[in-house]
Structure 1
Amino acid sequence: MPACPTRDVLDELLPADTPPDLIARLRAAPDGETRALALVAVARHTRETTLSGAQALGEAALSEALRAASPRAAVEALIGLSFVSASLGQQERALDTVARAQTMLEEHQLTDLLSGVLNTRALTRLTGGDVTGARQDLQDALDLARHARHPGDQGNALVNLAWLACSSGDPKDALHHLNLLEELTHALPAGPQGDELRLCLHEGRAHAYALLARQAQELGRADAQRQAAQQGLMVLRAAHSALRDTPSLTSELLCAAHESTLLRLHGDLIGAERAARRAAQLNALLRQQLYIEPQLCLAELLQSRGEFDAALAEYHSALTIARRQHRHLDIQRLLSAIGALHERQGRLSEALHVTREALQAATAALDRVNTAAARHQQLTRELRQARADASTWQDRLRQAEVQARQDPLTGLLNRRGLEEGLQRLQFPGDGPRPADGSLLAVVFVDVDHFKHVNDRHSHAVGDQVLREVGRLLAAQVRAGDLLGRYGGEEFVLVTPVRTRGRAHGLAEGCRRAVERHDWSALLPGTQLTASVGYAVTSPQQLPQALRAADDHLYRAKNAGRNRVSPTAP
Structure 2
Amino acid sequence: MVAHALPHSTSTGPETVARRLVRLIAESQAAHDAGHHQQGLALAEQALNGASAVGEPLMLARIHTLMANHRWRLGQFEPSVQSARAALALWKAAERIDEQCDTLCLLAISFSEIGLQEEALKHATASFELARQHDRGLAMGVALNRIGICYDRLGDSIQAESFLLQSLGMAREHGGHGDRMLALNNLTATAISAYYQAQLRADDDASQQAIQRARQYGSRALSLARRHGDIYRVSVTQGNLGEALGLAGEFAEARSLLQEALASALQNGFRAVVLRMRHNIAEVLLREGRNEEAITELTATLQSLTEMDHETTRMRVHSALHRAYKATRQFEPALLHCEAHHQIEMQRVALQSKAQARLMVNRIDVERALMDGERSRLEAELHRLRTQQLEAEKELLEQRTAELHRETLEDPLTGLANRRHVDATLPLLIERSRGQGQPMALAMADLDHFKQVNDRHGHAVGDEVLRTVARLFGDKTRARDLLGRWGGEEFVLVFVDTPRETAHEICERLRSAVQAYPWSAIAPGLQVTLSLGLAVAQPGDNAIELVERADAALYEAKRLGRNRLMEG
Letter matched to residue 184 of structure 1: L
Cα deviation digits, residues 274-307 of structure 1 (max 9, x gap): 2112322444264432334322222221211223
Cα gap change, 1:21 to 1:272, in 2 (>3 Å) = same
Deviation of 1:60 after TM superposition, in Å, equals 1.2
Aligned with 1:33 (options 33, 58, 61): 58
In the other structure, the counterpart of 1:295 is: 318
Deviation of 1:251 after TM superposition, in Å, equals 0.9
SS of the equivalent of 1:187 reads helix
| Residues in 2 aligned to 1:462 and 1:294: alpha-carbon distance in whole angstroms | 42
In the other structure, the counterpart of 2:558 is: 547
In the other structure, the counterpart of 1:240 is: 262
For the pair 1:54 / 2:80, whether they are aligned, the reply is yes
Deviation of 1:63 after TM superposition, in Å, equals 1.4
Matches within 5 A, 1:63-78: 63-78=89-104
Cα gap change, 1:176 to 1:95, in 2 (>3 Å) = same
| 2:533–2:554 contact (8 Å) kept in structure 1 | no
Cα gap change, 1:145 to 1:462, in 2 (>3 Å) = closer
Matches within 5 A, 1:202-281: 202-213=238-249, 228-281=250-303
Cα gap change, 1:531 to 1:235, in 2 (>3 Å) = closer
| Residues in 2 aligned to 1:156 and 1:178: alpha-carbon distance in whole angstroms | 11
Letter matched to residue 61 of structure 1: A
| Residues in 2 aligned to 1:160 and 1:176: alpha-carbon distance in whole angstroms | 12
In the other structure, the counterpart of 1:408 is: 413
Aligned with 2:119 (options 93, 99, 109): 93
SS of the equivalent of 2:311 reads coil
Letter matched to residue 492 of structure 2: L
In the other structure, the counterpart of 2:396 is: none
Cα gap change, 1:407 to 1:130, in 2 (>3 Å) = farther
For the pair 1:307 / 2:347, whether they are aligned, the reply is no
Cα gap change, 1:52 to 1:413, in 2 (>3 Å) = farther
RMSD: 4.6
Aligned with 1:179 (options 219, 235, 246): 219
Q: Which moved more, 1:235-244 or 1:99-108?
A: 235-244
In the other structure, the counterpart of 1:42 is: 67
In the other structure, the counterpart of 2:492 is: 493
Aligned with 1:483 (options 477, 482, 486): 486
Cα gap change, 1:230 to 1:195, in 2 (>3 Å) = same
For the pair 1:468 / 2:471, whether they are aligned, the reply is yes
| Residues in 1 aligned to 2:224 and 2:473: alpha-carbon distance in whole angstroms | 57
Deviation of 1:174 after TM superposition, in Å, equals 1.4
Cα gap change, 1:297 to 1:534, in 2 (>3 Å) = same
Cα deviation digits, residues 478-501 of structure 1 (max 9, x gap): 79x863674xxxx743899xxxx9
Unmatched 5+ stretches in structure 2? 1-36, 196-209, 350-403, 424-440, 449-463, 513-528, 536-547
| Residues in 1 aligned to 2:93 and 2:265: alpha-carbon distance in whole angstroms | 39
* Normalised TM-score (structure 2): 0.58
Matches within 5 A, 1:119-138: 119-138=145-164
| 1:507–1:532 contact (8 Å) kept in structure 2 | no
Larger radius of gyration: 2
Letter matched to residue 71 of structure 2: T
* Normalised TM-score (structure 1): 0.58
| Residues in 1 aligned to 2:232 and 2:534: alpha-carbon distance in whole angstroms | 46
In the other structure, the counterpart of 2:166 is: 140
| Residues in 1 aligned to 2:241 and 2:295: alpha-carbon distance in whole angstroms | 21
| Residues in 2 aligned to 1:531 and 1:239: alpha-carbon distance in whole angstroms | 49
Aligned with 1:195 (options 207, 231, 238): 231
Unmatched 5+ stretches in structure 1? 1-14, 214-227, 327-398, 422-438, 447-460, 516-529, 554-564
For the pair 1:114 / 2:154, whether they are aligned, the reply is no
| 1:171–1:208 contact (8 Å) kept in structure 2 | yes
Deviation of 1:59 after TM superposition, in Å, equals 1.6
| Residues in 2 aligned to 1:539 and 1:55: alpha-carbon distance in whole angstroms | 27
Cα gap change, 1:538 to 1:310, in 2 (>3 Å) = farther
| Residues in 1 aligned to 2:234 and 2:467: alpha-carbon distance in whole angstroms | 60
SS of the equivalent of 1:284 reads coil
Deviation of 1:64 after TM superposition, in Å, equals 1.6
Q: Which has the higher helix share?
A: 2
| Residues in 2 aligned to 1:306 and 1:83: alpha-carbon distance in whole angstroms | 40
Letter matched to residue 178 of structure 1: G
SS of the equivalent of 2:413 reads coil
Identity of aligned residues (%): 15
Letter matched to residue 56 of structure 2: D
Cα gap change, 1:483 to 1:187, in 2 (>3 Å) = closer
Cα gap change, 1:469 to 1:23, in 2 (>3 Å) = same
Matches within 5 A, 1:409-488: 409-410=414-415, 442-443=444-445, 466-471=469-474, 483=486, 486=489
Q: How many residues align?
A: 392
In the other structure, the counterpart of 2:108 is: 82
In the other structure, the counterpart of 1:8 is: none
| Residues in 1 aligned to 2:247 and 2:302: alpha-carbon distance in whole angstroms | 20
Letter matched to residue 32 of structure 1: P
